[in-house]
Amino acid sequence: MKVLVVGNGGREHALAWKISQSPLLSELYCAKGNAGTEGIAKNLPIDPTDIKALADFAQKEGIDFTVVGPEAPLVAGLVDEFEKRGLRVFGPNQRASLLEGSKVFAKEFMQRHGIPTAEFHTFEDPQRAKNFLRDFGLPVVVKADGLASGKGVFVCKTFEEAFQAIDYLMTRKVLGEAGSKVVLEEFLEGEEASYIVLLKGDRYVPLPTSQDHKRLLDGDRGPNTGGMGAYSPTPFVDEATERDIREQVIERLIRGLKAEGIEYRGFLYAGLMLTSRGPRVLEFNVRLGDPEAQALLMRIKGDFLRSLVDFYEGKEPYLQVEAETSLCVVLASKGYPEKVEDNKEIFGLERVNDLEKVVVFHAGTERRGSKVFTKGGRVLNVCASGKDLKEAKERAYRAVESISFEGMHYRKDIGDRALKKLR
């Protein structure tokens, strides 16, 4: 099979890495890919959001199956264009992608269909939002309505912080049209968890559980990011909790999609807060998480491409999962998630290539001759597996110590809360 992976981040490198192991594969392409994918696929000079160019390439080259990594092309209608041309693509269509493309749509959808989530209110006028806050109380979560790569969420403990977040999004429009509307949301306490499934119609297959670390700094301090690390599985999702997630979130979502005539096929990600009252949905994403994908794909055995194709065709996929734990540490550029410093040479990658049970997935990287340079906020994903979380963490951080670039930043506490629970 000829396969195209759309995207150029760490998630897409992990997808390409897993797909490249399939005996079904004859040729693998990545658009645009990065310095990591070029070792296992042919990188294409096509932007992931250039839908026409991607469809033209897939049609001309005879691509048998396309897997979409990031959310932006899905929200922009990539699947609709591919399907119009008779091309097979794994991902939800534009209407279904509103679950991630608009937080207002997603929250109102959850409200209509009884999916547990935080109390919320939406606003298109910044002054009205500020006036409402005085009665709503603190702490509060301020969210941009549109896509913001994980950077449009602000947990505010004071009115000053909340007002600044509203101005940042709605008045200064730092995130563009994504902040034209905002959601003010009840602050929830508990442990976060990521629950990702393959979903098609009323059929779903869960992938391994995981937990992301979204804040920039150790101890869950600093601004929200696209994710600074993850591990899989998470001990915070036991059998009873998973049953609640499936019944109250995934199955209610499926019934809601059917009731509203929305067809869904692809990855579905539920970002959850596990509260004392049960699971509450923080957000839906219409693709694999990043960096959750890097951690969980380390644990999937066998032919993942075959599983995706079988599921797409309505067959029962055979997914095997390693009993081992995996952990991913994100190495980021100085200035992330705001103004990042690019074009820094990366050293030490060759030293980690032969380490046992360690894989480095590239994200914001670019190869120039024999050298690799940074090109983006999140640069590398250092992943390792072990018999338990402690061993996986030790392996991952030993590998991190071998890598360096100017301004390199990473969290040193990935998985610590879970380790504390497991003691």
Q: How far is CA 420 from CA 16, 212, 414, 416, in A?
A: 34, 16, 12, 6
- In angstroms, what is the C-alpha Rg of the chain? 20
For CATH 3.30.1490.20, list the domain ranges present in the chain. 125-180
Q: What is the mean pLDDT of the chain?
A: 96
Span 2-93 CATH architecture: 3-Layer(aba) Sandwich (3.40)
Span 325-422 CATH architecture: Alpha-Beta Complex (3.90)
Give residue 342's pLDDT band: very low, low, confident or very high (50, 70, 90): very high
pLDDT in tens, 122-131: 999 999 999 9
Give residue 149's pLDDT band: very low, low, confident or very high (50, 70, 90): confident
Residue 354 is predicted with a pLDDT of: 86
Mean pLDDT value across residues 237-260: 98
> pTM of the predicted model, to two decimals?
0.96
For CATH 3.40.50.20, list the domain ranges present in the chain. 2-93
Give residue 56's pLDDT band: very low, low, confident or very high (50, 70, 90): very high
Looking at per-residue pLDDT, the higher value among 149 and 205 belongs to 205
Mean pLDDT value across residues 361-372: 97
Q: Which residue has the tokens 């049953």?
A: 243
Q: How far is CA 73 from CA 80, 188, 237, 273, 286, in A?
A: 10, 31, 31, 27, 11
Token pair belonging to 3: 């396969």
Half-sphere exposure of 276 (CA within 13 A, CB side): 1
Helix axes 126-136, 159-166, angle to 10 degrees: 160
Nearest to 318 by CA among 330, 302, 333: 302
Q: What percentage of the chain has pLDDT greater than the value 70?
A: 100
For CATH 3.90.600.10, list the domain ranges present in the chain. 325-422
Asked whether residue 380 carries a pLDDT value surpassing 90, the answer given is yes
Q: What superfamily would CATH give domain 191-321?
A: ATP-grasp fold, B domain (3.30.470.20)
159: left (phi over 0), alpha (psi -120 to 50) or beta: alpha
Residue 353 is predicted with a pLDDT of: 86
On the 0-12 / 13-18 / 19+ scale of CB atoms within 10 A, 416 is: middle
Bridge partners of 361, per DSSP, are 381
For CATH 3.30.470.20, list the domain ranges present in the chain. 191-321
Q: Which residues contact 383 (CB under 8 A, 6 or more apart)?
A: 14, 294, 295, 298, 326, 327, 328, 329, 358, 359, 360, 361, 396
Q: Which residue has the tokens 């499926």?
A: 254
CA distance 286 to 238: 24
pLDDT in tens, 296-341: 999 999 999 999 999 999 999 989 999 999 999 999 999 999 999 9
pLDDT in tens, 270-286: 999 999 999 999 999 99
CATH 3.30.1490.20 corresponds to the domain 125-180: yes
Give residue 134's pLDDT band: very low, low, confident or very high (50, 70, 90): confident
